[in-house]
Amino acid sequence: MDAKIGVLALQGNVSEHIDAFLSALERMGHGLSSEVFEVRSPADLAECNALALPGGESTTISRLIDKNGLYEPLRAFPGGIFATCAGMVLMACHVEDPRIHPLGLIDMAVDRNAFGRQRESFEADLAIDGLKGGPFHAVFIRAPVVKSAGNAVHILAEIPQGIVAVEQGRHLALSFHPELGEDTRLHERFLQRQGIAILVS
């Protein structure tokens, strides 16, 4: 399957996600046959078979999802969603902030700013379940954590403060920002789960 990856471009770090997906697709041998583009409307969303929900300010992104008529189309989106940071907050079923209208696509409760103001950002080497090639160097910026998750949720990584990487079906949600580094293993894993295989030449 050729990839048509959308990146929700309402607010947040959109271009980094586009670049990271382009380099993951290139590494997998799909560089020429794939597209990665910005999504702002239900019509844009209908064009893609997978979507990235970027980090940014989850209250703002949530308001803009409602304003742009994307709430129901996102809930009904048939493809996988790759969600980072604020995107992870939006994927939850429960968020203790009335300004967030969570999409309810992953059976989890998320704490938006779990690390408080003292620790706005930090980096850690994470063991990620099933990821070959050693630990993943993760950059956390005002990161959320998963406080509880239902049985359908596969927990991929946990630190003392909580769960920081999960998968449910085709969806992947991360507290941290893999799009800011060179390591595309999580993007490749996500694409493989969408049916986009590594091409062997």
Ligand X SMILES: NC(=O)CC[C@H](N)C(=O)O
Alpha-carbon span 129 to 158, nearest angstrom: 10
Alpha-carbon span 129 to 102, nearest angstrom: 26
Task: Establish whether 38 is a catalytic residue.
Answer: no
Q: Does 162 bind ligand X (CB under 6 A)?
A: no
Q: Does 174 bind ligand X (CB under 6 A)?
A: no
Q: Is the CB of residue 100 less than 8 Å from the CB of residue 86?
A: no
Q: Does 80 bind ligand X (CB under 6 A)?
A: no
Residue 27 marked ligand-binding:
no
27 backbone dihedrals φ, ψ, rounded to 5°: -60, -30
* C-beta closer to ligand X: residue 25 or 146: 146
Contacts 24+ apart (CB under 8 A), 92-95: 92/146, 95/58
Task: Establish whether 179 is a catalytic residue.
Answer: yes
Spell out the residues 6+ positions from residue 67 whose beta carbon is closer than 8 angstroms to its own.
none
Minimum distance between the CB of residue 138 and ligand X, rounded to whole angstroms?
12
Residues in binding contact with ligand X, number by CB under 6 A: 12
Spell out the residues 6+ positions from residue 122 whose beta carbon is closer than 8 angstroms to its own.
115, 140
Residue 142 marked ligand-binding:
yes
Q: Does 86 bind ligand X (CB under 6 A)?
A: yes
Q: Does 113 bind ligand X (CB under 6 A)?
A: yes
The amino acid at 136: F
Task: Establish whether 48 is a catalytic residue.
Answer: no
SS3 174: strand
User: Exactly one of 5, 7, 16, 112 binds ligand X (CB under 6 A); which one?
Assistant: 112
* C-beta closer to ligand X: residue 141 or 173: 141
The residue count for the chain: 201
Binding interface with ligand X (CB under 6 A): 55-58, 85-86, 89, 112-113, 141-142, 144
Binding residues: 56-58, 112, 141-142
Q: Which residues are catalytic?
A: 85, 177, 179
